[in-house]
Each structure stands twice: as C-alpha cells, then as structure tokens.
Amino acid sequence: MTSPVQIIRPKRHGDARGWFTEIHSVPTFTKLGITCTFVQDNHSLSAQAFTLRGLHFQIPPRGQDKLVRCIRGRIFDVAIDVRAGSPSYGEWVGAELSAENGHQLFIPIGFAHGFVTLEPDCEVTYKCSDIYAPECDGGVRWDDPQIGIDWPIPSGVVPELSSKDANQPMLADFDSPFVYNGRPLTPLA
C-alpha cells in the first residue's frame, strides 16, 4: 500500500535544446492511486531565503488535495497527518523540491502543508482539487513541538512568516474534522 503523501518524479526528456516533462497526466496519476480532479492552480514567489509558508489546510466540505512543485529555486516541502484516528496522526514527511530536480509532492485532503525556501527568489506552483474557501481555511503552528518538524533552517535564523502563520494554533488545540481512511502515513519512497 502506498503512502497517501507521495513524491512524484516526472521523467525529463532532454536533448540539445533542453528538456520536456509531463507534470500531470490522469492515466499516470490514476496508476499511483491519485484520482482527484484539480480545479485551481496557485503560484507564489518568496523573495527571501528561509521564508516559511504553512502549515495550511482547508477543512471539509472544501478540503484540498494539492500537487506542489518548485519551478525556481529550492524548497523543503512538508505534509503532516491531521486525520482523526490515524495511527500516524501528527507525524510528518518532507522532501526537497527544486527547479533542478523537478520533483513534486502530492498532499491529499487530511494533511497540513507547508514549505520553507532554501534560497532567495523561490517560485512554487501547486494544483488544488477545490477552490480557496476562506471560511474553511485552517492551519497549525509551523514550530509545534508535538509535530517536531526538522526544518532545514540554520541555527539562529528566524524564518520569514506571515502574521497568520505566526499565530496558528498548536496541534493539541485542533479538533480535526478529517477522517482516517485506512492508509497511514509512511516514509516517502
């Protein structure tokens, strides 16, 4: 059984001109067990290194599956299991996504998502399976010790945060509306 959070490594076809890659294909994703329909694309620019965005999710009925990729620079992208009743509740996985490696992270509904930039001027795009719904917007603290994310931030560096992200609740204060579907979080392959 595959993990609900998956790293996707699209194949690049290169020649003297550069390369070509297919970033989303319904048949390919269906083989991976990813059957959502994406309806919104987002694009962010983070000017400073160690800008941290997250940890975000949308609660039902407007939950969002996400497919995240970095198209300029490098980020460390994370997903945290926030599904009630999950044996992996509060656990996280992370991966470096970069313009160079072309990897993507699929994050299903029921997982909080966030990333930190590892260099200046990072651009991140992500597909979502539902539109942004501010009344369903939620999150948990990026530095919650219960979660214990090992962010690759140098000692003494304070990440650049929005006021919203600096004031998110702790996981212990979150009453999860997400339902565990029998697929525990496992390490990324």
Which candidate in 24, 126, 132, 180 is catalytic?
126
Say if 1 falls within a structural domain.
Answer: no
Tell me what pLDDT residue 1 has.
Answer: 55
Say if 189 falls within a structural domain.
Answer: no
The partner residues of 20 in beta bridges, in order of sequence, read 13
∠ Cα 114 118 120 (to 5°): 110
∠ Cα 148 65 160 (to 5°): 45
Identify whether 103 is a catalytic site residue: no
Say if 153 falls within a structural domain.
Answer: yes
Domain of residue 132, CATH code = 2.60.120.10
Assigned token pair, 56: 């975000």
Question: 39-59, pLDDT tens digit by residue?
Answer: 999 999 999 999 999 999 999
Say if 188 falls within a structural domain.
Answer: no
Say if 55 falls within a structural domain.
Answer: yes
Say if 13 falls within a structural domain.
Answer: yes
Say if 181 falls within a structural domain.
Answer: no
Which candidate in 13, 24, 56, 113 is catalytic?
56
Identify whether 24 is a catalytic site residue: no
Structural domain of 58: 6-173
Which band of pLDDT confidence, cut at 50, 70 and 90, is reported for residue 112? very high
Question: 95-105, pLDDT tens digit by residue?
Answer: 999 999 999 99
